[in-house]
Amino acid sequence: MAHPDDFRAAMARLAAGVVLVTAHDPEDGPRGEDVGMTATAFLSVSLEPPMVLVSVRADSRMDDLLERQPLWAASVLSESQRHIAGRFAMRGRISDRLLFEDVSYYRGPKSGAPILGGALSVLECATEQRVTAGDHTLVIGRVLAAKTPSADGSPLVYFKGRYRQLD
């Protein structure tokens, strides 16, 4: 079996788009709370029906939430949203309520999840299947709505352990 350090180094050479996965937790407090997570393991699974997959760390707050909340959204980040990617990627961070405080977003009409203003594209999803895969959970979602509100921008890319821009 490959050593974890060798595997990490090899996979770091695979460029990936960056998305912010979000969901609303109606059970957290009187008005609920919005939760967000930066993801680079996000991909299209099927065109008919439209489905996507996101990999979330097992036992993370997002994994726990998506186990009981089937509705979520993914905002594909532009290069100008690098600070948002970094903010929502931190482990042991402050509450998500504070992370959303100064971020421009609106609530998705199909999912109720926060959707970032300025995102290159937006997908609202309903979980179809969850698959345990090592230390992660693969969440497969049926796409309820797909929009390209800011299709003219350039994508944020993750490569060799850093956020980068396409030249």
**How many other CB atoms are found less than 10 A from the CB of residue 115?**
22
CA distance 142 to 71: 10
Tell me the β-bridge partners of 143: 125
Tell whether the model's pLDDT for residue 150 goes beyond 90: no
Average pLDDT over residues 13-38: 90
Average pLDDT over residues 147-157: 87
**3-state SS assignment for residue 137:** strand
Scored b (16 or more CB within 10 A) or e, 23-56 reads bbbeebeeeebbbbbbbbebeebeeeebbbbbbb
What average pLDDT is seen over the chain? 92
Distances (CA, A) of 67 to 111, 128, 129, 153, 165: 15, 11, 10, 33, 33
CA nearest neighbour of 140 among 157, 152, 128: 128
Displacement of CA 68 from its chain's centroid (Å): 17
pTM of the model: 0.93
pLDDT band at 151 (very low <50, low <70, confident <90, very high): low
User: Residue 35's pLDDT is what?
Assistant: 94
Average pLDDT over residues 15-19: 94
Could you say which DSSP state residue 154 is in?
A: P
**Environment class of 153 (CB within 10 Å of its CB; exposed 0-12, middle 13-18, buried 19+):** middle
